[in-house]
Amino acid sequence: MQIKLGAIDLRFLSTLFMHGGYVLDFSNRTFASFFRTELDVDIYDPLYELEGSSKANRLRCFWSKADSATIAKSLQALWEYREAVRKEKREIETIPDAEVRLTTLIAKLRGNIVSKRNEVPIETKTKEFGPAVFDKLTKDLLAVSGLPAQRRGYEFEAYLKQLFDCFGLAAREPFRNVGEQIDGSFVLRGEVYLLEAKWTNAQTGVADLRAFNGKVLEKATWARGLFISDSGFTEEGLVAFGRGKPIICMDGLDLCDAFAKQLPLNTVLDAKVRYAAESGAPFRRVRDLFPS
């Protein structure tokens, strides 16, 4: 089945790759060379002038005519070019979650995830996770707990990326925007979640919850957040934090219970998201969501 770009997709891609009638920093010559080399396409063929002769209009026209696999290939090539230029100039990324959103779109075009939000991603339908997978995840988590305090936080973030990748959640490593640190991000059912990870002896209180909620609210309106605190959350903090926030919470006991019950992370997060949507509360334990 061919998947085409929607209006929201095109708006995002225009912000990412275009300014006015231009595409990135391409001249007419380098634009033609790029498409010829990367896609074996003559972008200056009259076929791609139906929406106008500028580079941006040619690109939009190309996307409207190409099959989904070719569109995905073009997006990947444009992103790699954009990143090479940005890093060469040492510029800061100005579009929140640009890489995660583009990766999700490319995956959808390639058929790796479905486009309807109420369907299960294809990879979670077809991939089986046996006891050995959950045993390893448990063992690796215990290994993190045995590390010196100054290393645990960093290793916990690396462990979580491994965990998200294991279940096909398009994890992204920690990144820094101007003035703030984000511990990573991932994609669940086409929705982008920012991640806050904390491993301290004390339980997490309301101040940290509110600080993370502030980070999420400053991003795009569709951004959500997952706060994982290995030591858990104080009851007073959860009450003071309140309801109706775009945040779900998870603790170390949740992870251990999920692995013991051999529950894929996708399944656990889906249940937490549904509970939060129905109750407004950010936290409910895995053992309560899956009592059997």
Distance CA(105)–CA(113), nearest Å, equals 9
Residue 135 in this model has a pLDDT that exceeds 70: yes
More confident residue, 94 or 163: 163
Mean pLDDT of 252-280: 93
CB 95 within 8 A of CB 16: yes
Q: What is the pLDDT, as a whole number, of residue 178?
A: 44
Q: What radius of gyration, in Å, describes the C-alpha atoms of the chain? A: 21
Q: What is the pLDDT, as a whole number, of residue 39?
A: 92
Residue 192 in this model has a pLDDT that exceeds 70: yes
Residues in contact with 8: Cβ distance below 8 Å, sequence separation at least 6, in sequence order: none
Mean pLDDT of 263-270: 92
Work out the number of other CB atoms within 10 angstroms of the CB of residue 26. Answer: 19
Residue 175 in this model has a pLDDT that exceeds 60: no
> 122-289, which class in CATH?
alpha beta
44 burial level (CB within 10 Å; 0-12, 13-18, 19+): middle
- What is the tally of helices (H) and strands (E) in the chain? 13, 8
Work out the number of other CB atoms within 10 angstroms of the CB of residue 230. Answer: 23
More confident residue, 120 or 261: 261
The SS3 of residue 261 is coil
Q: Which pLDDT band, with edges at 50, 70 and 90, does 1 fall under?
A: low
Residue 248 in this model has a pLDDT that exceeds 70: yes
Predicted confidence (pLDDT) per residue in 76-124, tens digit? 999 999 989 988 888 888 887 788 788 888 888 877 544 333 333 433 3
Q: Which pLDDT band, with edges at 50, 70 and 90, does 177 fall under?
A: very low
DSSP annotation string for 137-165: HHHHHHHHHTS-HHHHHHHHHHHHHHHHH
Q: What is the pLDDT, as a whole number, of residue 127?
A: 47
b or e along 127-145 (b: 16 or more beta carbons within 10 Å of the residue's beta carbon)?
A: eebeeebbeebeeebeebe
Q: What is the pLDDT, as a whole number, of residue 106?
A: 87
What share of the chain has pLDDT > 90, as a percent? 55
Residue for token digits 């920012």? 194
First CA to last CA distance, the chain: 39
The dihedral region occupied by 203, where left means phi > 0, alpha psi between -120 and 50, and beta the remainder, is beta
The torsion angle over the Cα atoms of residues 62, 64, 69 and 70, rounded to 10 degrees, is -10
Token pair for 183: 């511990």
Distance CA(258)–CA(129), nearest Å, equals 12
Can you give 96-131 as a three-state secondary structure string?
CCHHHHHHHHHHHHCCCCCCCCCCCCHHHHHCCCCH
Q: Which pLDDT band, with edges at 50, 70 and 90, does 128 fall under?
A: low
Edge to edge, the sheet with strand 191-198 lists: 185-188, 191-198, 224-229, 247-251
CB 182 within 8 A of CB 190: no
* pTM of model > 0.75: no
Q: What is the pLDDT, as a whole number, of residue 201?
A: 86
Q: List Cβ<8 Å contacts ≥24 apart for 172-179.
A: 172/99, 172/100, 175/93, 177/92, 177/93, 177/96, 178/92
Poorest-pLDDT segment among 24-28, 64-68, 158-162, 169-173: 169-173
